[in-house]
Amino acid sequence: MKKISKTKLFFSVIISLVVITSIVQAKPQKLYSKIFDANKGELLKLKTDLGDIKITSWNSNTVEVVVFGKEKVNDYFDFIFEKRNKEVYVECDRTSSSWLNIFSSFDLSFEIRVPEEFDINLRTAGGDINIHEVNGMLDTKTSGGDIKISNCTGEKVFSTSGGDIEISNSYGIAQISTSGGDINVIDNNGDLKASTSGGDIRVKSTKGKISLSTSGGDIMIEHRGENDGIYAATSGGDVRVAVGKNVKANVKLKTSGGDAKCKHSNARADIIKNQKYEGTINEGGNLIECSSSGGDVILSEL
């Protein structure tokens, strides 16, 4: 019996060591580190079939690209790193054999630093995108992750098929769309157009025209600046908009499945019905138009 117990113990130790070794070897590691000379106003273009992307700025006329992942990544993906005139180009493509391992975990990610003034073009088929303190044209698209942008200035075009989008403390025109998540915009200064097919939209802004639509959620807006025009429509939730006391606006509120109310202290009503409200705030201005097919529509004062 003792011999059998010792044998079991021996094999248990061996198996444990194999498992621990496999876990250690499976940890993500630095696969590539590239640095390219670059000037402000140039372009970073990255296309990858997999992986998260994190981009920050630094005080340097160079672009640094660091790729992390498990060691087996190089067996299933091909990488390209090039400087093309005024463009830093990075590409990561699956090889034909990698599709046989679509359920494997590669833990692939990109960490990139660019000059403060730089244009960004990103495409990833399966990861999150995070950009911080970059001033330039930001054009990003992911088919399977979230997009998070903070402290950025410039025109922004963001699209995801399967995640949330968050923008904070940013300036410039923004066009945002997601097919399967929420949109959260905090301290935005600039025209904003956002749409989602399956989530809520929350916006806190101080400047710019706002156009929002969702097919399956609520819309909440807090606007503390002048009214450049607000449009909000949902097919499956409530719309709640709050503006400043001195805002000037023409108002149209309508719902097919709830109440339409204007609670602003300086509002004057022209039409009041249970599901429709039309009037002005502070004698009128740019149009605030809100509608819902299945909830309440409320305009109030901050």
Residue 234 token pair: 């949902």
End-to-end CA distance of the chain: 79
- Nearest-angstrom CA–CA distance, 43 and 162: 26
Return the pLDDT at 275. 93
Residue 243 token pair: 């503006």
Residue 64: how many other CB atoms lie within 10 Å? 17
Choose among 95, 90, 107, 111: nearest CA to 43.
90
The CA distances from residue 115 to 38, 78, 147, 260, in Å, are: 8, 27, 21, 49
The residue whose two tokens read 């999150």 is 128
Q: Outline where 225-297 has alpha helix (H).
A: none
Residue 261: how many other CB atoms lie within 10 Å? 17
Q: One digit per residue, pLDDT tens: the chain, 302 residues?
A: 444 455 554 445 444 443 344 444 457 899 999 999 999 999 999 999 999 999 999 999 999 999 999 988 888 999 999 999 999 999 999 886 555 455 457 899 999 999 999 999 999 988 999 999 999 999 999 988 999 999 999 999 999 987 999 999 999 999 999 997 999 999 989 999 999 998 999 999 999 999 999 998 999 999 999 999 999 999 989 999 999 999 999 999 999 989 999 999 999 999 998 899 999 999 999 999 999 998 999 999 99
- Nearest-angstrom CA–CA distance, 19 and 216: 45
Q: How many residues are recorded in the chain? A: 302
* Residue 263 near residue 228 (C-beta atoms within 8 A): no
Return the pLDDT at 201. 97
- The one-letter amino acid code at 5 reads S
Return the pLDDT at 5. 55
Return the pLDDT at 13. 43
- Nearest-angstrom CA–CA distance, 15 and 4: 17
Ramachandran assignment for 282, one of left (phi > 0), alpha (psi -120 to 50 degrees), beta (any other): left
- Nearest-angstrom CA–CA distance, 25 and 193: 46
The CA distances from residue 302 to 129, 147, 155, 226, 284, in Å, are: 33, 29, 28, 13, 18
- Nearest-angstrom CA–CA distance, 51 and 142: 10
Return the pLDDT at 202. 98
CATH class of 30-133: mainly beta
- Nearest-angstrom CA–CA distance, 34 and 45: 14
Domain residue limits, the chain? 30-133, 164-302
